[in-house]
Amino acid sequence: MSHHFPFESGNRDIFTLRTTARGRPGALPFTPEQLATAPSGDLFGWSQNVGMGWAPENLGGDRPEVAILSTQGGIRRPDGSALALGYHTGHWEVGLLMEEAANAVTAGGGVPFAAYCSDPCDGRTNGTKGMLDSLAYRNDAAIVFRRLARSLPNAKAVVGIATCDKGLPAMMMALAGLPDLPAVLVPGGVSLLSEEAEDLGKVQSIGARFAHGELDLQTAAELGCKACGSPGGGCQFLGTAATSQVVGEALGLTLTHAALSPSGADIWKDLAARSGAMALALARGGASTRDVLSEDSIHNAMICHAAFGGSTNLILHLPAIAHAAGLPRPTVADWQRINRETPRLVDSLPNGPHGFATVQVFLAGGVPEVMLHLRGLGLLRTGARTVTGLTLGENLAWWENSERRRRLKEKLYQLDSIDASQVIMTPTEAKQNGLTSTVTFPTGKLAPQGSVIKSTAIDPSLISADGWYRHEGPARVFASEREAIAAIKSSGPDQIHRGDVIVLAGLGPAGAGMPETYQVTSALRYLAIGKHVALITDARFSGVSTGACIGHVSPEAFAGGPIGKLRDGDQVRIEIDCKNLSGSIDCPSLTEEDLALRERNPILHPHPDMPADTRLWAALQNASGGSWGGCVYDTDRIAELLEQATIR
Dist. CA 425–CA 260, nearest whole Å: 18
Has 542 been annotated as catalytic?
A: yes
CB atoms within 10 A of CB 33: 8
Strand pairing category for 501-504 and 534-537: parallel
The three-state secondary structure class of 84 is strand
How is 555-593 classified by DSSP, letter by letter?
Answer: S-GGGT-GGGG--TT-EEEEEEETTTTEEEEE-TTS-HH
* Cα dist from 185 to 67, 144, 190, 349, 449, whole Å: 12, 17, 15, 24, 34
Dist. CA 466–CA 446, nearest whole Å: 25
Q: What are phi and psi of 333, to 5 degrees?
A: -60, -35
CB atoms within 10 A of CB 4: 9
The three-state secondary structure class of 177 is coil
Question: Per the omega criterion (within 30 degrees of 0), is the bond before 350 cis?
Answer: yes
Residues 273/175, Cβ–Cβ less than 8 Å = no
181 burial class (0-12, 13-18, 19+ CB within 10 angstroms)? buried
Q: What are phi and psi of 642, to 5 degrees?
A: -65, -40
Q: Nearest 5 degrees, angle CA 84-CA 87-CA 93?
A: 75
Instruction: Show Cβ contacts of residue 228 under 8 Å, excluding neighbours closer than 6 positions.
Output: 89, 191, 194, 200
Beta strands in 434-497 (DSSP E): 450-452, 468-478
Dist. CA 470–CA 463, nearest whole Å: 8
Dist. CA 511–CA 506, nearest whole Å: 5
Dist. CA 631–CA 646, nearest whole Å: 24
Nearest residue to 68 via CA among 133, 155, 166? 155
* Cα dist from 595 to 369, 450, 565, 568, 587, whole Å: 49, 16, 7, 14, 9
Buried b (16+ CB within 10 A) or exposed e, 539-568: bbbbbbbbbbbbbbbbbbbbbebbbbbbee
Catalytic one among 194, 294, 297, 542? 542
Nearest residue to 156 via CA among 315, 59, 287, 29? 287
Beta strands in 125-226 (DSSP E): 155-162, 183-187
Beta bridge partners of 552: none
192: DSSP letter: P
Active site positions, annotated: 542
